[in-house]
Amino acid sequence: MKKYNTALTIAGSDSGGGAGIQADLKTFSACGCYGMSVITAITAQNTQGVSDIYPVQISTIEKQLDAVLQDIGADAVKIGMLHSSEVIKLVASKIKEYKIKNLVIDPVMVATSGDKLLQDEAIAALKTELLPLADVITPNIPEASILLGRNIRSQSDLPLAAREMSFSKNFSVLLKAGHLTENELIDVLYNADKDEIIRLASPRINTLNTHGTGCTLSSAIAAFLSKGNDLQTAVENGKNYIEKAIIKGRDYKLGHGHGPVHHFHNWWN
């Protein structure tokens, strides 16, 4: 019998479909994986913002994790925003219990407005309990600044910042440059296994349709890891996927705010 490459997302639901669980599952499918989900929160959300968040109770999150991992397992796991220290600690314990490999963490801590989404207690739990279990984390510059406790101001700061985030914890870091102002974006991948910095350049794409780009990129990386790609190849393939998804999605109009990327650009237009 054939075997699927499987990927699990642990994150919140986006009712508008552009980010969160919905974006993750679309990305897994588009990148050739069988996707599964553990929903940690339900949001009322569209292209203009989030109007309500309803956390899923801890026991239900635990039962979802056990149901998926006891029966199906996962070749890779992507983790998005976990809203409390209790949820973070639960997920960390399950990652260790099931000996999860290919763990990609998108440390979602800052809203587009610049407001922190996690309280200090949850950020501390994220740093001490969960991030050290990751194979790779994918922060943007505001998130990296919170993790480091200092501001990152320029492209030249990125290599040191990426290496510093990994120091003594031995996870790799993809530090995204999208919050800088240059026309050419140069993300920095610190490969902890090789103690190597890789610079990954891409053009800035002029579009309002950027909702869910962080979720989509981290999910694409998880999908490619589940298919046996090494880290650098998975990141390069993930960046290529999201770049094309942004380019193909910029011609569409959906809603009245920031629309989604085109997750299925390889399949339909």
Q: What is the DSSP letter of 79?
A: E
Q: Where are the domains of the chain?
A: 6-133+208-249
Computed over every residue of the chain, the mean pLDDT equals 94
Could you give the percent of the chain with pLDDT greater than 70? 97
For residue 206, how many C-alpha atoms fall within 13 Å in the half-sphere facing its CB?
1
Are 83 and 118 in contact by the 8 Å Cβ rule? The answer is: yes
Given 3-state DSSP classes, what are the helix, strand and coil percentages for the chain, each rounded to the nearest 5? 40, 25, 40
pLDDT, tens digit, 9 for 90 and up, residues 81-91: 898 999 999 99
Q: Which CATH class is domain 6-133+208-249?
A: alpha beta
pLDDT of residue 112: 61
Maximum average pLDDT range among 70-84, 113-127, 171-185: 70-84
- With bands split at pLDDT 50, 70 and 90, how would you rate the model's confidence at 139? very high
Q: Are 120 and 150 in contact (CB under 8 A)?
A: no
The predicted pLDDT at position 111 comes to 65
* pLDDT for residue 187: 97
Query: Is 245 a residue whose pLDDT tops 60?
Result: yes
pLDDT (average), residues 261-265: 98
Residues in the chain: 269
Mean pLDDT of all residues in 234-253 = 97
| Percent above pLDDT 90 for the chain | 85
Distance between CA atoms of 252 and 112, rounded to whole angstroms? 21
Q: Is the pLDDT of residue 220 over 80?
A: yes
pLDDT of residue 1: 96
Cα maximum dimension of the chain: 52
Average pLDDT value for residue range 177-190:
89
113: pLDDT strictly greater than 60: no
pLDDT for 183: 83
State pLDDT tens for residues 69-106. 999 999 999 999 898 999 999 999 999 999 999 999 99
Which residues are catalytically annotated? 176, 210, 212-215
